[in-house]
Structure formats: structure tokens, C-alpha cells
């Protein structure tokens, strides 16, 4: 039986330059989709999948992230005094169990593989999930939970996968598909950010992974890949060659690329429309807006 996945790595060291000037003083992961920071969506997804230990790979200027997961005694006392129990409940949902959160710094921006490698001692000799908070996935059953359930059958390594337009494949890790079984695909290889026209398929890796300790070992070699960075994709690809124990998993759900402004805006609208307290007003606005724009054409 596959060993249980109870730890997750959240690489959050990026500078977030695409969101300047906001990210000059606010970590990208604290930016809000409706009223919850991006990172909260990833945490909730990890919790739903049974994750108990949360490892953040941070960098300089990410202090607000650490504070976010801390208790806020003054604020809590004030809300208590005013009898605002609904807001206290909202805060309580964000509190993490003592000792469940660990931070490790990535001192140099050497890529995603390097960020994951920085967490290796905290992971030890067990499987670990990796969640990239930029990839927000709206799903009835949270994406990582779907993956953990599939992993319980397969063991090994698993990456979330989704078809993308061919013209976009150069922005992703791309799977070279061996056998396609629908939800699960076996792979011959994986390529990080293939040059235009060279992608082995249009099945792209999305930011959810379940990794064996072997992949973290592979990162020790510190081999540079696409863009001169140490790529997680390459360390996983090595495992395909060594053990053939890598699966792509087509998740059910809608993925938003919150690393881009357009994706972030789309996610804001989509999550706003799911909120009972906002849905009607937002929907009415969108309908009116569409009508006004059409009339102006
Ligand atoms: C990272 C990974 C890439 C993956 C993508 C998913 O790239 O390196 O393999 O397809 O996340 O969002 P990034 O978007 O950080 O450049």
C-alpha cells in the first residue's frame, strides 16, 4: 500500500514581478481572491487531502505570510468584546495547529526544483505533496484530494495534468504520453517549457504534485534546465527513466492561472459568483456590463 501523504510543500519565494507595484510590499500569495488570500485556497485544498504538516519555502520580504498563519490575539480579543462571532469563526478557520507550519528560506532564486529541494530535510524519507498557489483549482472534490485517492491505488509520483492550447505549451511542463487511461496517463517523459512546435503533446503539468523521496534526491545533482533554472520537471523525468513510476492525473475541476493578471481577474469573478452573499449583485453587474458593451459596438 502506498505510504500516506501528510506533508506538503508550498513554494512561495517568487518575487511576483507580474503584479508590481502591488507586490513591492505585499507577497503575491497574500493578494486576495474575493476576501481570502491566494495561499488560503491552497491550504484548504491541502487540508482536505489529509495534509497535516505545511512547509513554506519563502524568501526575503515574505514576513506577511508568516504573520497570516499566526494567531492575532489583539484582533481576536476585540472581536470577542464586540460579540462578532461570525468574524471570529472566519479567523479561526485560518488558524494553524501549533507546530504544523514550518518555513524554510530559498536564499537564491534558482527555480522551482531548487525551492522544493530547500525543503528536503523537513520532508525526510516520505512522500510529499507540492502545491503551487498560483494555480487555483475550483472543483467539487478538491484537486489534491482527487490525486491522493488515485495515488492510494498507484503509489509512485503523480502530477496534475490538463490539456492546454498548443500555442501555450511553451509555458508549461509537458507530458510525453505513453498510455492514456483517461484520468490516469503513463508517460515516456516530461519536458519543461518546450520550444514552440516541439512539445510532445498538449497535456500540461499543473501545479499539484505527489513526489517520492527519490525525486528530492534527484534534485541534489542541481542540474540546470530550461531558463538556466533547476527544474522540478527534470527531477521527475529522471524517475520515469529510473523507475517508470510517474503518472499524469487529469483532475476534474477548473484551473485558474493566478500567476497572470487575466487569470487572477477571471478567478475573482468565478469565485465571487460562487459566494451566496455576492452572487446576485455581481451577476447583475456582469449582465448590465455585457449589455452596455454590446450596445456600444
Ligand atoms: C511551473 C512548472 C511547470 C508547470 C507550471 C504550472 O512553471 O515549472 O512545469 O507546468 O508551474 O503552473 P511556472 O509557471 O512556475 O513557470
Q: Is 132 in the pocket of ligand 1 (CB under 6 A)?
A: yes
Average pLDDT, the chain: 94
Is the pLDDT confidence value at 148 over 90? yes
The answer to whether the CB of 230 falls within 8 A of the CB of 236 is no
- With a cut of 80, say whether residue 1 has pLDDT above it: no
What proportion of the chain, given as a percentage, has pLDDT over 70?
100
Across the chain, the runs of DSSP E, i.e. the strands, are: 7-11, 32-33, 36-37, 53-58, 101-105, 128-131, 135-138, 157-163, 173-181, 184-192, 203-211, 246-250, 254-257
Average pLDDT over every residue of 13-31: 90
Instruction: Give the residue whose CA is nearest to atom 10 of ligand 1.
Output: 172
For residue 244, pLDDT over 80 is answered with no
- Is the Cβ atom of 234 under 6 angstroms away from ligand 1? no
Atom of ligand 1 nearest to the CA of 14: 15
266-291 pLDDT, tens digit each: 999 999 999 999 999 999 999 999 99
Q: Which residues contact 247 (CB under 8 A, 6 or more apart)?
A: 150, 154, 156, 157, 158, 159, 184, 185, 186, 187
pLDDT for the residue numbered 15? 87
DSSP 263-282: HHHHHHHHHHHT-TTTHHHH
- Ligand 1 centre to CA of 18 (Å) is 15
Average pLDDT over residues 186-192: 95
Residue 207 near ligand 1, beta carbon < 6 Å: yes
Q: What is the pLDDT of residue 97?
A: 87
pLDDT at 38 over 90: yes
Q: Is 115 in the pocket of ligand 1 (CB under 6 A)?
A: no
Cell, residue 59: 524568501
Please state the φ and ψ torsions of residue 10, each to the nearest 5 degrees.
-120, 100
Locate 211 and state its grid cell: 513526489
Confidence band (pLDDT; 50, 70, 90) for 104?
Answer: very high
Residue 193 pLDDT class (50, 70, 90 cuts): very high
- CA–centroid distance, 229 to ligand 1, in Å, is 12
Query: Does any ligand 1 atom lie closer than 6 A to the CB of residue 203?
Result: no
Q: Please determine, for residue 61, whether its predicted confidence score (pLDDT) is greater than 90.
A: no
Amino acid at each position: 500500500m502506498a505510504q500516506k501523504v501528510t506533508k506538503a510543500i508550498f513554494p512561495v519565494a517568487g518575487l511576483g514581478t507580474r503584479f508590481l507595484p502591488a507586490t513591492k510590499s505585499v507577497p503575491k500569495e497574500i493578494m486576495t481572491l474575493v476576501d481570502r488570500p491566494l495561499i488560503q485556497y491552497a491550504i484548504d485544498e491541502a487540508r482536505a487531502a489529509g495534509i497535516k504538516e505545511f512547509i513554506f519555502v519563502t524568501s526575503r520580504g515574505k514576513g506577511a505570510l508568516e504573520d497570516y498563519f499566526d494567531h492575532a490575539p489583539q484582533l481576536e480579543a476585540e472581536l470577542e468584546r464586540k460579540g462578532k462571532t461570525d468574524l471570529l469563526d472566519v479567523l479561526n478557520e485560518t488558524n494553524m495547529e501549533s507546530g504544523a507550519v514550518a518555513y524554510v528560506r530559498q536564499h537564491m532564486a534558482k527555480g522551482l526544483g531548487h525551492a522544493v529541494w530547500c525543503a528536503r530535510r523537513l520532508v525526510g524519507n516520505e512522500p510529499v505533496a507540492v502545491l503551487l498557489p498560483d494555480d487555483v483549482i475550483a472543483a467539487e472534490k478538491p484537486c489534491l484530494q482527487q490525486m491522493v485517492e488515485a495515488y492510494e491505488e498507484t503509489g509512485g509520483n503523480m502530477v496534475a495534468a490538463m490539456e492546454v492550447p498548443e500555442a501555450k505549451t511553451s509555458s508549461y511542463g509537458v507530458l510525453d504520453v505513453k498510455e492514456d487511461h483517461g484520468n490516469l496517463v503513463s508517460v515516456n517523459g516530461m519536458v519543461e517549457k518546450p520550444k514552440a512546435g516541439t512539445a510532445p503533446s498538449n497535456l500540461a503539468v499543473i501545479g499539484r504534485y505527489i513526489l517520492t523521496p527519490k525525486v528530492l534526491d534527484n534534485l541534489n545533482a542541481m542540474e540546470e534546465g530550461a531558463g538556466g533554472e533547476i527544474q522540478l520537471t527534470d527531477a521527475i523525468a529522471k524517475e520515469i527513466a529510473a523507475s517508470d513510476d510517474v503518472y499524469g492525473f487529469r483532475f476534474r475541476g477548473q484551473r485558474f492561472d493566478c500567476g497572470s493578471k487575466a487569470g487572477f481577474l477571471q478567478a475573482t469573478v468565478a469565485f465571487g459568483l460562487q459566494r451566496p452573499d455576492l452572487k446576485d449583485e455581481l451577476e447583475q453587474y456582469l449582465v448590465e456590463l455585457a449589455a452596455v458593451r454590446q450596445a456600444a459596438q
